[in-house]
Amino acid sequence: MGRPIPKIALGLALAGLLAGVALPAAAQDTGTRPRARPHITVHPRTGGQLPPTAKRYCHAQLVKEYRVSGPVIVPHMQCWWQ
């Protein structure tokens, strides 16, 4: 369960709505639709050694790397065609 909203904050929010306060520019709807994510297709580099039904398999894990600022956890991915 979250924390209850204080009555003062709720009252101020209601007063702002009743007064017709304009929203900040970031909160206003500009009418533009968000861009669609590009579709990326990955093809094998080999010149025909793999069958057309070959699939790309990947293994991802988090690995601790030691850097000057201290240890950092970074994602590592290994992929292969089968």
- Domain edges within the chain: 54-82
Q: Among residues 33, 13, 30, 31, which one has the least CA distance to residue 21?
A: 13
Query: Rounded to whole angstroms, how far apart are CA atoms 64 and 70?
Result: 10
Query: Rounded to whole angstroms, how far apart are CA atoms 79 and 59?
Result: 6
What pLDDT score does 53 carry? 86
27 pLDDT exceeds 70?
Answer: no
Q: What is the mean pLDDT of the chain?
A: 75
**48: which DSSP letter?**
S
What pLDDT score does 46 carry? 64
0.75 exceeded by the pTM?
Answer: no
